[in-house]
Amino acid sequence: MFDSKTRTIVIVGAQWGDEGKGKLVDVLAERADWVVRYQGGANAGHTVHVGDESTVLHQVPSGILHAGVRCAIGNGVVLDPEGMFEEVDALVANGVDVAGRLYLSDRAHLVMPYHKLVDKESAASKAIGTTGRGIGPAYEDKVARRGVRVLDLRNPARLKALVERGTAHANHILSGFGSSKRADAAFTLSELERIAPRLLAIAEDVGLAVHRAQKQGAAVLLEGAQGSLLDVDHGTYPFVTSSSTTAGGAAIGVGIGPRSLDAVIGVVKAYTTRVGGGPMPTELTDATGEELRKVGNEFGATTGRPRRCGWFDAVVVRYAVRVNGLTGLAITKLDVLDGFEKIALCTGYKVGGEVMSEFPGDLAELEGIEPVYEWFDGWKSDTSTARKLSDLPRAARVYLDRIVELVECPAQYVSVGTRRDQIIGL
């Protein structure tokens, strides 16, 4: 994928998350010099399978499993420091050399204990279906200019003032919830004092470092979390995350200019899943949906929650192609469909006597809609051993061709299993 003209590639999810971005980043990282996470936090869960080993990464970039690749956490991420170092320690215990390869933007905001407390006590968070890891409250404090950045750890007086302000605000919110729980500024400061040396040891001006690497011709992967339909501006608001999950957020979340982005690959499943509340037009609540969940092992890597499952929604993905400016698709989990007699693909939404072909901004427009499906014969054969397009059954290729036609974006990769080698480059 990397060549003389394509040196910086953005990887985004083009559905509601859980599309398999971690695997694609892991595969492409073999030829990368840098892998950088640009938004989200510990609410993400990227699972990478190497041989018989599975590694779930929540904050550390997926490229860390490739020796020599430099990995960075950008300013657009809200970092749970305790959780990140748990990941790092687990990687080291499993023989992964992390020393000198992991960088953290000193402009990144920190998730505080009081953010997690507010998130867990919030009825709104439960209704939306957040992970309860403090992501939303941390982004709220960031926008309200009372957030704590990594670089604030270098200034104890400023840090103390920020934590006390943040704690007071959190306790005000908790009181409004009717909760008896309260945040403790002294506890938070003691936790930060304990972990500060380790955080500051990897703190860096990540934007500057990546910019310099780009000028020297480095191959750079920018790794997003969640999916395009969870973008705070372009997703199914208010059932969204708190950051910009689309490609426009990549430059902002790393600290580089948008003109330095050469390609944007959108990762999609060969069907559709979603976790938490909010609309999902093709959701199947019958035995077929349960079969997709079972065969696809559709349970959240972060929360373990069962995912809602349904047929591929071309309206959603065509929308994601547009708002991201996708240059290519990576279609994952094709093998999950191997056993189905018939497979459906949503081409539009029927409302009354009319068909809606574009995804609406007002979710009220989705009430009472009926998905318009095209049906395909299943291939009823094992695709997991396919390593080139011609190895796939004809019926599978017909299905993939129709997806490409409907979403108006070429496919560049097709994944047929969880392992690194189970991917077809087109």
Give the torsion sign (CA, 175, 179, 182, 188).
negative
Record the tokens describing residue 364, joined without a space. Answer: 């009220």
Q: Taking the C-alpha atoms of 28, 32, 36 and 42 in order, what is their torsion angle to the nearest 10 degrees?
A: 40
Residue 44 is labelled as binding a ligand: yes
Residue 19 is labelled as binding a ligand: yes
Residue 307 is labelled as binding a ligand: yes
Find how far residue 348's CA is from the centre of its chain.
Answer: 26
Q: CA-to-CA distance for 112 and 236, rounded, in angstroms?
A: 27
CB distance 33 to 221 below 8 Å: no
Residue 45 is labelled as binding a ligand: yes
Residue 97 is labelled as binding a ligand: no
CB distance 63 to 29 below 8 Å: yes
Residue 141 is labelled as binding a ligand: no
- Sequence-ordered list of residues with C-beta below 8 angstroms from that of 364, at least 6 positions apart, any chain: none
Residue 383 is labelled as binding a ligand: no
Residue 171 is labelled as binding a ligand: no
Residue 241 is labelled as binding a ligand: yes
Name the residues annotated as catalytic: 18, 46, 142
Residue 188 is labelled as binding a ligand: no
- Sequence-ordered list of residues with C-beta below 8 angstroms from that of 360, at least 6 positions apart, any chain: 366
Find how far residue 351's CA is from the centre of its chain.
Answer: 31
Q: CA-to-CA distance for 332 and 327, rounded, in angstroms?
A: 17
Residue 417 is labelled as binding a ligand: yes
Q: CA-to-CA distance for 297 and 295, rounded, in angstroms?
A: 6
Q: List binding-site positions.
A: 17-23, 43-47, 131, 145, 226, 241, 301-307, 333-335, 415-417
**Which positions make up the binding site for Mg(2+)?**
18, 45
Annotated binding residues for IMP: 18-21, 43-46, 131, 145, 226, 241, 305
Binding residues for GTP: 17-23, 45-47, 307, 333-335, 415-417
